[in-house]
Amino acid sequence: MRAGGAGREVLVTLVVAALLIWLMPLVIGTYTLTVLVIYGMLGLSLGLIWGFGGILCFGQAAFFGLGAYTYAIAAINIGESTVPMILAVLVPALFAALLGAMMFYGRLTDVYLGVITLVVTLILFKFVNSTAGPQYKIGEARLGGFNGIPGFQTLNVPGDPDAYIWGDPYFYVCAVMLVIVFLLVTWLLRSSFGRIAVGIRENEVRMALMGYDVAARKTVLFAIGAAIAGLAGALFANWGEIVTPNLFSLGQSAEIIIWCIVGGLGTRLGPIVGAAGLAYLKFLLGQQSMIDNTLITGLILVLFVLFLPRGLVPAIAALLTSIFGRSRRKPSARRMRRLRHG
């Protein structure tokens, strides 16, 4: 019964994703859509560790930026995009594993975790900003300080450096990657590891008293979140064809948190919807100069915290069950669980 439910969920995900990938380009240009998809993946990375692991990271942008810079630096040195893409996932994951081990074995929680991740992001931002001089080189790549790194090899068909993937095909690559990441996250959350992670989110002491090594598990989950953020960063680097220190900025970190809150924490879909929705709104607001868009983002956050504190996706899910749920048989355990976990 469980396996059947999982299979159906994968099928629904694939059908809905295929429809969206087919229909959305008719409404929004693929260039804009690509970045919305990338932000969606970035939102999902924090949604995973915060919503399901209870780890509030104020520095998810650090892993995003690290992924982007790793990609750019490796692409300049290697000249073919496959290995740089892999490195852009591994380097942030490794960095997060070290940082996470330090924090979680040091038993830092809640606000201290936020402070440390925030400070690490600031340090990276300041450091990368100050690397304008020619002495800051990694292999062939100059770090370029506040100017960033332009002119690196963008994504190509694996094994063929001259076959660039850009424009519409690049959108499809990003969208398919997001679907794959989404399915992997789904699988992870259904696995014992994911269920234990949720248990840790709910009560660390209890899980430790059951015999689970909480620090090790949180470190692994933190690294997985960073790997996803790193992948998003690499895709973003390919989209923008330049990486700048702004990727590490506090504004970026704050936005990711707002995406998760607005979309719905503790769901898989919420952070993606929140990210894409708010980023698109920012894009639209960027076309006019009457109102500052951070003001609107702030207003939306305040309104959500006041009136829809659980976020958009849980609210819609609750609405749908209250309308359609009655006619069906009593909600099964599996459906209830899915509602709660998105």
Partner 1 sequence: MAETVLETHGLTMRFGGVTASDNVDFKLAARELRCLIGPNGAGKSTFFKCVTGLLTPTEGHVFMRGQDVTGWQPHQIASLGVGIKTQTPNVMDALSVHENIWLAARRFFDPAEARARADTMIDRLALGSIARTALGQLAHGERQRVELGIVAVADPWLVLLDEPAAGMTAQDVDRMTAIIHDLTRSAAVVIVEHDMQFIRSIAEVVTVFHQGAVLMEDHVDRVMSDPHVRAVYLGKKA
Give the footprint of partner 1 on this chain (CB under 8 A). 192, 195-196, 198-199, 202-203, 205-214, 333, 336-337, 340
* DSSP secondary structure of 71-128: HHHHHHHH-SSHHHHHHHHHHHHHHHHHHHHHHHHTT--HHHHHHHHHHHHHHHHHHH
Q: Which is nearer to partner 1, 205 or 306 (CB)?
A: 205
State the minimum distance, in angstroms, from the CB of residue 4 to partner 1: 16
Calpha distance 154→1 (Å, rounded): 45
Calpha distance 178→202 (Å, rounded): 28
State the minimum distance, in angstroms, from the CB of residue 216 to partner 1: 9
State the minimum distance, in angstroms, from the CB of residue 338 to partner 1: 13
Q: Which is nearer to partner 1, 25 or 199 (CB)?
A: 199
Calpha distance 169→283 (Å, rounded): 22
Calpha distance 258→13 (Å, rounded): 25
Contact 142, 149 (CB under 8 A): yes
State the minimum distance, in angstroms, from the CB of residue 185 to partner 1: 19
State the minimum distance, in angstroms, from the CB of residue 201 to partner 1: 8
Q: Which is nearer to partner 1, 79 or 199 (CB)?
A: 199
Q: Which is nearer to partner 1, 126 or 337 (CB)?
A: 337
State the minimum distance, in angstroms, from the CB of residue 203 to partner 1: 5
Q: Which is nearer to partner 1, 130 or 203 (CB)?
A: 203
Contact 263, 100 (CB under 8 A): no
Q: Which is nearer to partner 1, 177 or 207 (CB)?
A: 207
Cβ neighbours, 10 Å, residue 308: 15
Contact 226, 45 (CB under 8 A): yes
Q: Which residues contact 44 (CB under 8 A, 6 or more apart)?
A: 178, 181, 182, 185, 228, 268, 271, 272, 275
Torsion 57-60-63-66 (CA) sign? negative
State the minimum distance, in angstroms, from the CB of residue 209 to partner 1: 5
Instruction: Output DSSP code: residue 63.
Output: H
Q: Which is nearer to partner 1, 101 or 157 (CB)?
A: 101
Cα 242 to Cα 28, 140, 177, distances in angstroms? 23, 16, 21
Q: Which is nearer to partner 1, 203 or 294 (CB)?
A: 203
Residues in the chain: 342
State the minimum distance, in angstroms, from the CB of residue 291 to partner 1: 38
State the minimum distance, in angstroms, from the CB of residue 310 to partner 1: 12
Q: Which is nearer to partner 1, 196 or 316 (CB)?
A: 196
For residue 107, is it left (φ>0), alpha (ψ between -120 and 50) or beta?
left
